[in-house]
Amino acid sequence: MLIHPQLFNYKIIIGSLIFGITAISVLGFSTYQSIKAEQQFLKQENKLVENELSKMIQIYDKTKVANQMLSEQLDSIKTSSQMALDKIKIMENDVESLASFRSNLITEKSRSTSLLKAIDSINLRNGQLENEKFMAYTVLDDQKKVNAALLKTNESLNKSIEKAAMMTVNSFHTKFYKSGTHDNETTKASQTKCMDVCFTLAKNEWAKNGMKEIYIQVLNPLNNVIGKKNAVRFDKSLLIYSDKQLVDYNNEDLNICATIEPEKNEKPFTKGTYYISVFHNDHKLGSTQIVLN
């Protein structure tokens, strides 16, 4: 078999070219696949960074803080995170830029964690202070109610003591006379010139002893005061009385009598019902009534 050297050389050259082209194609395809995979990875990493920044911003938006200094720091870190998010959205996907953002993100997250912990601590303390304030107001309100109840009880007790210490009169006895000498008793209005009003200032160990001004008021059937008709004022009240008796009261039964007769310019006694009341200061101690024929 004859071999032509020139033909053989061509075959070697063609084979080498085919091998080279194949190798280059394989290498090129491999490089393409590698670049594509890298781009996909960068895109995913970029998206992760975006998501982390977005979540951080959402947390900042929901965080409430009353402290002025921490509020300003929160606004600052929120602005910084928002600027980073806006920048990464338009950034070219390359390893160097992504690495820089990753580094900055770690720093921002560390700063954010410290700040949020401080805010949580202050908010917790503020909540505790609010609870303490509420409890203090509740206790104060309860104390006010207790004080009001005690004041009401004291007022009631004072009234009871005052009422218990108030003097009373009983055993009224009234007589009508034909003359001021009290010699001739009568029951007829046409014969009556004067009347005696007698009563007992009752024993009361709770009452204050000492000199007492006792006022006697007699109203005739026409509802007019008969007798001296003097007047005395007690705070907002005015008492017109028929007679006044100054007595020394020693917490024992004390019998008192007063003679009542019309003034010269008054009409004499008339038929009808006469109303008799006894006062000490502005307190009525007792009363009775009698009919004159």
CB 173 within 8 A of CB 185: no
Provide CB contacts within 8 A for 249, sequence distance 6+: 167, 201, 207, 209, 210, 211, 212
pTM: 0.50
How many of the other CB atoms lie within 10 Å of CB of 71? 14
Model confidence band, residue 1 (pLDDT cutoffs 50, 70, 90): very low
Residue ranges per structural domain of the chain = 5-124, 169-292
How many Å apart are CA 132 and CA 58, to the nearest integer? 31
Class of domain 169-292: mainly beta
Residues 34-55: tens digit of each pLDDT: 555 556 655 666 666 667 767 7
Q: Directed axis angle between helix 68-90 and helix 5-62, to 10°?
A: 160
Cα separation, 68 vs 122, in Å, equals: 12
Highest-confidence segment of 101-110, 114-123, 219-228:
219-228
Which amino acid, 206? W
Greatest alpha-carbon pair distance for the chain in Å reads 196
Q: Which of 22-26, 48-52, 195-199 has the lowest mean pLDDT?
A: 22-26
For the chain, the average pLDDT equals 77
Reported in sequence order, the residue ranges of 178-281 that DSSP labels E, i.e. its strands, are 185-186, 194-201, 210-219, 230-234, 237-241, 243-249, 254-260, 272-280
Mean pLDDT, residues 18-37: 53
